[in-house]
């Protein structure tokens, strides 16, 4: 008997079938790559190498870097998502919004790096937010609570009779 926190083939298909858009892409990427929630949310455009089918995770658990795979089934949707991101980035630049947040040492060394394409969030928030440290209004990544709520709502909609969280997708990746 499989533990309750593991999804089985039909179960994850039911879950993904009730999801749409970016949230579905995020869930399928988490499941297909074994990413932790914070690793998924903090992905930058430069971390996702579609041509090599790899994701570079920086400062993951234990502050370690690692590389994981990109599922073949998501490559075209990831390319399309990146086209959408490019347009969003160009709009933000044209509107004069500051670049994305960068770790302190990097921001000090390269003050304009947050405006560069490769440093943009792979899953940006829809709205600009105020950076709590600096008060600067800028684009952030999708918030943990937003994604967690979407996964739980999808599990209810799919009528899954087990507790499903984003971490369930990682457990299922490891098991499958």
| Other residues' Cβ atoms within 10 Å of the Cβ of residue 173 | 20
pLDDT, one tens digit per residue, over 98-153 is: 999 988 788 889 888 999 999 999 999 999 999 888 888 999 999 999 999 999 99
- 2-16 mean pLDDT: 64
Answer yes or no: are the C-beta atoms of 16 and 27 closer than 8 Å.
yes
- Give residue 161's pLDDT: 80
Q: Count other Cβ atoms within 10 Å, centred on residue 101.
A: 19
In this prediction, residue 126 carries a pLDDT of 93
pLDDT in tens, 33-92: 999 999 999 999 999 999 999 999 987 676 778 999 999 999 999 999 999 999 999 999
The pTM score is 0.88
**pLDDT top residue among 165 and 62:** 165
CA 12 to chain centre: 18
DSSP 86-146: HHHHHHHHHTT-------HHHHHHSTTGGGSGGGSBSSEEEEEEE-TTT--EEEEEPPHHH
Nearby residues of 25 by Cβ (< 8 Å), 6 or more positions away: 74, 77, 78, 81
Tell me the two tokens of residue 96.
């004069």
């Amino acid at each position: 008997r499989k533990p309750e926190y593991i999804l089985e083939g039909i179960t994850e298909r039911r879950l993904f079938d009730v999801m749409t858009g970016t949230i579905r892409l995020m869930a399928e990427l988490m499941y297909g790559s074994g990413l932790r929630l914070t690793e998924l949310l903090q992905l930058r455009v430069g971390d996702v190498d579609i041509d090599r089918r790899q994701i570079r995770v920086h400062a993951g658990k234990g502050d370690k870097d690692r590389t994981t795979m990109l599922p073949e089934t998501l490559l075209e949707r990831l390319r399309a998502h990146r086209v959408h991101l490019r347009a969003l980035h160009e709009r933000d630049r044209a509107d004069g919004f500051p670049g994305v947040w960068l770790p302190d040492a990097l921001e000090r060394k390269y003050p304009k790096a947050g405006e560069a394409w490769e440093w943009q969030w792979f899953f940006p928030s829809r709205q600009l937010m105020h950076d709590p440290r600096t008060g600067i209004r800028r684009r952030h990544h999708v918030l943990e609570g937003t994604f967690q709520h979407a996964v739980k709502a999808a599990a209810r909609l799919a009528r899954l009779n087990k507790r499903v969280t984003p971490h369930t997708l990682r457990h299922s990746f490891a098991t499958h």
